[in-house]
Amino acid sequence: MRLRNIAGSREVIAESQYTVKDPETKKGLWKEVFGNDRPIHIEIGMGKGRFLMDLAEQNPNINYVGIEKYSSVLLRAIQKQELRQLPNVKFIRMEAEDITEVFAPSEVDKIYLNFSDPWPKDRHAKRRLPSREFLARYDKILKPDGVVEFKTDNMDLFDFALEEVEPAGWNLDAVTYDLHNDEVMNEGNVMTEYEERFSSQGNPIYKYIVSRKGSNLWTIA
């Protein structure tokens, strides 16, 4: 994501009714934030948020929280949400590393990771959002039957992500190396902004779904 400093974006974020300020004070209290006890799905590294808002429109009975570290990017999501005004969408400007301070155990039903930063250097592996270190954090906030869904066009990052699943103690529930040509996994697929851009350049999209369910069933599509 290009880094641009958009004047005033921090102020807009601080004042927006769609962002949650001091999110660590909401830990265990997200039902109150949304005013209902519907399932909570989050996207970590949301970017401009179109994917999350499209899902929210399709699924009014699910609450969505979009997490993004850069205010200039989050500002774009807020501007879209001001037009769409989806009641089941909130945003947090934060660093994903702190996620366990913001959600209580079992508070989250599903985590989406879409086109996460690759951090190609070995010494930065821990910063990759599908790393075992991050899976350990997701383990602390997801319901027992909760899932992580990860999409990318980056082969190296995807291979890394697949290698992390077993050592982290998770199960690979489904995997595809060509999402858009996989009838089963592509059903109902909502494209992200990056997904649209990279697939239009001819890149295949990779996707996995992982969980901590007891089964060791590998569904190779």
Using CB under 6 A as the binding rule, whether residue 175 contacts ligand SAH is answered as no
In three-state secondary structure terms, 185 is: helix
Strands 108-114 and 89-93: unpaired
- The single residue among 96, 161, 175, 185 that binds ligand SAH, judged by CB under 6 A, is 96
In this structure, what are the phi and psi dihedrals at residue 7, rounded to the nearest 5 degrees?
A: -55, 130
Which span sits near ligand SAH by CB under 6 A: 29-37, 66-74, 169-177, 200-208? 66-74
Alpha-carbon gap, residue 170 to 2, rounded angstroms: 33
Q: Which of 109, 117, 173, 178 is catalytic?
A: 117
Residue 82: count of CB within 10 angstroms of its CB: 12
Count of positions on this chain that bind ligand SAH (CB under 6 A): 19
109 binds ligand SAH (CB under 6 A): no
- What is the phi/psi pair of residue 10, to 5°? -65, -40
Question: Near ligand SAH by CB under 6 A, which window of 33-41, 112-120, 158-166, 212-220?
Answer: 112-120
Residue from 101, 117, 133, 139 touching ligand SAH (CB under 6 A): that is 117
Segment near ligand SAH (CB under 6 A), from 29-37, 156-164, 165-173, 191-199?
191-199
95 binds ligand SAH (CB under 6 A): yes
Does 173 participate in binding ligand SAH (rule CB under 6 A)? no
| 68 part of the interface to ligand SAH, by CB under 6 A | yes
- Quick check: 194 binds ligand SAH (CB under 6 A)? yes
Which residues have CB under 8 Å from 85's CB, separation 6+?
Answer: none
When the beta carbons of 59 and 154 are compared against ligand SAH, the nearer one is 154
64: β partners: 41, 89
CA angle 176, 62, 11 (to 5 degrees): 100
Q: How far apart are CA 211 and CA 146, in angstroms?
A: 6
Residue 140 as a binder of ligand SAH (CB under 6 A): the answer is no
Q: Is 114 in the site for ligand SAH (CB under 6 A)?
A: yes
3-class DSSP state of 153: coil
Which strands make up the sheet holding 142-152, listed edge to edge? 89-93, 63-68, 40-44, 108-114, 142-152, 206-211, 171-176
7 SS3 class: coil
192 binds ligand SAH (CB under 6 A): yes
Footprint of ligand SAH on residues 39-58 (CB under 6 A)?
45-47
Annotated active-site residue 117? The verdict is: yes
Q: Which residues of the shown chain bind ligand SAH in the complex (CB under 6 A)?
A: 1, 45-47, 67-70, 73, 95-96, 114-117, 192-195
Just list the catalytic residues.
117
